[in-house]
Amino acid sequence: MRPSLCLAQLSKVFKLPPMGKSWPGPGPFLYVMFHRDNYPAGNGNLAPDPKLLEGRVLGNDFTRKDGWSMYMGNEVPGFPAHPHRGMETVTIVRQGMIDHGDSTASGARYSVGDVQWVTAGKGVVHSEMFPLLNEGEKNTLELYQLWLNLAAEDKDADPEFVMMWREAIPHLEKDGSIVQVVAGEYGGASPLAPPKSSWAARASSDVAAWFIDMQPGATTTLPSTNTPQTERTVYVHACTPGPDGPEKTVDGVKVQVGDEWVPDWHALKMAPGSAEVVLRNGSQPARVLVLQAVPIGEPVAVRGPFVMNTEQENLDAFAIYRKTKFGGFPWPTDKPTYGDSPRFAQYRGGPREEPGKKFAAY
């Protein structure tokens, strides 16, 4: 076991950027995006009352006016069809609902506790909309989206998406902590399989993504990393944001990671190859996200929704997209939603799969 002195000498606590800005990730995790929108009641068409849209720049509304944004949506909030290449998105929902459609004729509706893992590979166009299903009360949306890089040899892989239903994702509950195991073994629990071309599909990558909800005074132990090269970051914030935003919550939210206290809306970048470390929560409920991975070790060039190894490759990717639209978008609208449908996944135009009902009928 590596000595804990390395943690004290080389770890670094830093404040997270404000809401709407990306959090830095370890190794191949390019970004972490955290969205929390306190949407109003729906108007019967999965959208806000049009009167509430006055003063917003529809199609580009990131203002968080009244505690929520329309993003790129005009009626239903969300992100209509847009392209990605060379990377992955891992979307973890804590509140609300998301409707997905993409250029492979795949679609999904997923909700609290579900995870969607998309490998863009050589190119995919997808839509992510946030339908307001509740008409008599607010529609709070809370999600985390991780951007994960792909190795150069996998940037031309066929696009793929996997739905991980909350009923199948391992959850461990002990000593006041609940751990959702999205990636990487934890406490003997093995995660569901990621897409086959993902960096996480390689055992040598040591990719892990764990959500830990901690009650006051709770403890849990992070296992040691499986390689000396593995980078790990621990993110801490309050479970229930205050009235002025998630980054401005009540005093007292803090989690001890080894010998260091990490306060609300801060993260701890640990030394590569971290030893086993105990997390101890303070006097307030706290949420901890742990990400880790071995770096890919290749150049990274990011241009908007594309992540390649060089800027020329990004320019080539844009040229391919302009010419092919990555196969087009086989939906009647660029922002498909699914009415009052239950949660489902539909892969490449096939039959619908519902949680607990493999390939259910329409």
Residue-level pLDDT at 6: 42
pLDDT of 245: 66
Q: For domain 29-53+65-168, give the CATH number.
A: 2.60.120.10
Could you count the other beta carbons within 10 Å of the beta carbon of residue 9? 9
**Residue 148's closest CA among 108, 183, 174?**
183
Q: What is the pLDDT of residue 240?
A: 77
Tokens of 90: 């891992």
pLDDT of 359? 45
Contact at 8 Å (CB) between 294 and 197? no
By C-alpha distance, which of 197, 182, 155, 168 is closest to 302? 155
| Residue whose entry in the numeric block shows the structure tokens 């990004």 | 314
Query: Does 1-28+170-298 match 29-53+65-168 in CATH topology?
Result: yes
- Give residue 177's pLDDT: 98
- Confidence (pLDDT) at 360: 42
Question: What is the rounded average pLDDT for all residues in the chain?
Answer: 93
pLDDT in tens, 107-164: 999 999 999 999 999 999 999 999 999 999 999 999 999 999 999 999 999 999 999 9
- Where exactly are the structural domains of the chain? 1-28+170-298, 29-53+65-168
Cβ–Cβ < 8 Å for 12, 26: no
pTM here is: 0.94
Query: What percentage of residues in the chain have a pLDDT greater than 90?
Result: 90
Residues 198-215: tens digit of each pLDDT: 999 999 999 999 999 999
Q: Which CATH superfamily is domain 1-28+170-298 in?
A: Jelly Rolls (2.60.120.10)
pLDDT at 252: 79
> What SS3 state is found at 305?
coil
Rounded mean pLDDT for each run of 10 residues along the chain, 362 residues in total: 41 89 96 95 98 96 95 98 98 97 97 98 98 97 97 98 96 97 97 98 97 97 97 93 65 91 95 96 96 98 97 97 96 97 96 75 35
